[in-house]
Structure 1
Amino acid sequence: MKVSVIGASGKVGSAAAFCLAEENALRELVLISREESLDKIKGEAMDMYDALAANDIHVDIKSTSNMEDVAGSDVIVLTAGIAREPGMSRMDLAIPNAKIVAEYARGVAEYAPESILLVVSNPVDVMTHVALKASGMDKNRVFGLGNHLDSLRLKTFIARHFNINVSEVRTRVIGEHGAHMVPLISSTSIGGILLKYFSNYKDFDIINMVEKVKSAGEEVITRKGATEYGPAYAISNIVTTILNNEKKILTVSAYLEGEIEGIEGVCLGVPVKVGENGIEEIIPIKMSKYEINAFIKAAEVVKNFTEEVFRAAEI
């Protein structure tokens, strides 16, 4: 299998590339950056080779600034864009990133139109829509990291609260990757038992837990300057699911055409079945009344913001 990572000179891009190489499922890994960062990704490749040798893993790693080198990729991970910084407004981030994402998406469509494009650049729901429109590719082959990382964060917080192994927790966050994310607490379970049936559920501060998930990324950025490991492994989860045709249900940012609550014309985090062809099915779900209303609100906010970004960035 061949995977290309666009924006590999950044912290998330380089960490994701290494996670993918460690999976030992790749024949070729292509690291792509702008010309001015080419020397840096060549250094990343050298460092990766040393680390992989310790585990007897061999992957051909190519460092390039030429988009033609994505040709033949099974999956392309798009992490390029300016980094999110503390205090940065959504529009400050969205406009320059929309232009960058659109440029690369057009390149993907030109040189690797049969690939699957996973968008990571933030704000991810909007950037997924930008990539989909700019590339002209099928909506099942262009989707974003969405709420997969948020779901993993909520899973971790719940496991720690109930002092239970994280593997026993089944939970999901949908909606916007941002302030309007929607945790599906009504269907969250531990060990196959709905959360609401646990005797100490009344001590579970849902509102506080949700706020912790919402602010988790910003807190990491404030403390250490950037998020790396969480996004990298979340990306690796999705890519290996595609490469191995695992047909897992993951929460990614997908373009909706009425599949859930009649929402259409916007990219939002929703549960989908992921396999070798990308999104094989958007999973219809039942939600509580509160969750439905929150999801509809998320759709409205993201759709309006997306239209604003499209106008400002002339996409």
Structure 2
Amino acid sequence: MDIGAHSKVAVIGTGSVGSSIAYALMLKNIANEVLLVDAIPERARGQEMDLSDSNVLSSTRVRYATIQEAGQADVIIITAGAKQREGESRTELIDRNYDILENVIGAMRPIKRDAVMLIVANPVDVLTFFAQKLSGLPRRQVFGSGTFLDSSRLKVYLSERLKVNFKAIHAAVLGEHGDSQFIAWESANVAGKPLLSFPEMKDIDKEKIRRKIAGKAMDIIKLKGSTYYGIAACTVSLCESIIRNKHDVRPLSVYVEKLGVTMSMPAKLGWHGIEEVYDVPLSESEQEQLWASAKSLRTVCEKYNT
């Protein structure tokens, strides 16, 4: 496969999240073509017209497309779904978003055999699990954005506390992208030095920090109605990992064989999607949180997997 083989990206759902992703893809110039697909064709056409005015900054072509065309894209990003309501947990979105996912994937068939499908809609872990089944693609080619954004939020918070660049911080939020997510403190480090050994981290309230990171999305929703810039940036970073075969390691919604569920673990990403899933050192309490998160997700999947 040539390095430019993954050059056509389809964005399904052109609301705030989808259009932000398309715009960021344009600015990054990492795809030859971005296809815009929406259940409301007029909205996708309007986004095409608006985004085309940004071509002064980009050589990426953005255009309206049908759902069938999207099925033949190299990277398929599914953002289509109902918005999360204030006070609503991600798992409560399942009834409203599963039908949308099933219809979208069904309408795309036949899907390009080597396409990589990225689920951004919530609840991302559960919808990724179903997308792996509904698409007919190998599991490694279907993954979700998972706790990548949560982990980015954590690193920004820690960088401000430690006064170091967030890129120097290696720390991850794992498990469910939602209520049962947890921070892997045991493996977190800066330049190889354990994070918790820094004086600035002495006597921290781990649970308070976990809640702060997990609750940031709802804080934003309360203030402005929805979140889209952060997830758009993360999604485009993942697209770049695929298109340029960068082998970045990110905490993503992937199927974890030993847990029998799709949830966020560190995963290597390249041309073919997920190339490897890594275990990370966890404390005893973190291991318990991992299993509890997995159990919670399995219960949901079993309930709706009919």
TM-score range, shorter chain: over 0.9
Structure 1 equivalent of residue 251 of structure 2: 251
Query: TM-score normalised to the size of structure 2?
Result: 0.94
CA distance in structure 2 between the aligned counterparts of 1:239 and 1:301, rounded to whole angstroms: 29
Is the contact between residue 91 and residue 123 of structure 2 (CA under 8 Å) also seen in structure 1? no
Deviation at 1:280, TM superposition (A): 0.5
Structure 2 equivalent of residue 277 of structure 1: 272
Give the partner amino acid of 1:253: S
Give the partner amino acid of 2:235: I
CA distance in structure 2 between the aligned counterparts of 1:156 and 1:109, rounded to whole angstroms: 40
Deviates more, 1:147-156 or 1:185-194: 185-194
Give me the identity figure in percent: 30
Is the contact between residue 150 and residue 173 of structure 1 (CA under 8 Å) also seen in structure 2? yes
Structure 2 equivalent of residue 302 of structure 1: 297
SS across alignment from 1:76: strand
CA distance in structure 1 between the aligned counterparts of 2:92 and 2:210, rounded to whole angstroms: 25
CA distance in structure 1 between the aligned counterparts of 2:237 and 2:302, rounded to whole angstroms: 30
Give the partner amino acid of 1:24: N
Map residues 80-229 of structure 1 onto 2, 5 A cutoff: 80-90=80-90, 92-229=92-229
Cα deviation digits, residues 64-110 of structure 1 (max 9, x gap)? 3x211124311000000111110235454111201111222233451
Give the partner amino acid of 2:192: G
Q: What's the Cα RMSD here?
A: 1.5
Q: Does 1:38 align with 2:37?
A: no
Give the partner amino acid of 1:117: M
Cα deviation digits, residues 198-230 of structure 1 (max 9, x gap)? 123214332211110110111111111000111
Of the candidates 13, 23, 27, which is equivalent to residue 18 of structure 1? 23
Is the contact between residue 21 and residue 59 of structure 1 (CA under 8 Å) also seen in structure 2? yes
Q: 1:89 to 1:199 in 2, by over 3 A?
A: closer
Is the contact between residue 157 and residue 209 of structure 1 (CA under 8 Å) also seen in structure 2? no
Q: 1:90 to 1:145 in 2, by over 3 A?
A: closer
Is the contact between residue 184 and residue 287 of structure 1 (CA under 8 Å) also seen in structure 2? yes
Structure 1 equivalent of residue 287 of structure 2: 292
Q: Runs of 5+ in structure 1 lacking a partner?
A: none
Is the contact between residue 79 and residue 121 of structure 1 (CA under 8 Å) also seen in structure 2? yes
Aligned length: 300
Q: 1:41 to 1:15 in 2, by over 3 A?
A: same
Structure 2 equivalent of residue 6 of structure 1: 12
Deviation at 1:112, TM superposition (A): 2.4
Q: Does 1:48 align with 2:33?
A: no
Give the partner amino acid of 2:59: H
Cα deviation digits, residues 15-49 of structure 1 (max 9, x gap)? 01111121112111100001xx2222222122222
Deviation at 1:242, TM superposition (A): 0.5
SS across alignment from 2:254: strand
Deviation at 1:153, TM superposition (A): 0.8
SS across alignment from 1:272: strand
Deviation at 1:174, TM superposition (A): 0.9
Is the contact between residue 18 and residue 48 of structure 1 (CA under 8 Å) also seen in structure 2? yes
SS across alignment from 1:245: coil
Give the partner amino acid of 1:273: K
CA distance in structure 1 between the aligned counterparts of 2:41 and 2:155, rounded to whole angstroms: 37
CA distance in structure 1 between the aligned counterparts of 2:157 and 2:89, rounded to whole angstroms: 27
Q: Runs of 5+ in structure 2 lacking a partner?
A: 1-6
SS across alignment from 1:114: coil
Deviation at 1:196, TM superposition (A): 1.9
CA distance in structure 2 between the aligned counterparts of 1:90 and 1:244, rounded to whole angstroms: 32
CA distance in structure 2 between the aligned counterparts of 1:188 and 1:277, rounded to whole angstroms: 28
Deviation at 1:256, TM superposition (A): 1.8
CA distance in structure 2 between the aligned counterparts of 1:109 and 1:128, rounded to whole angstroms: 17
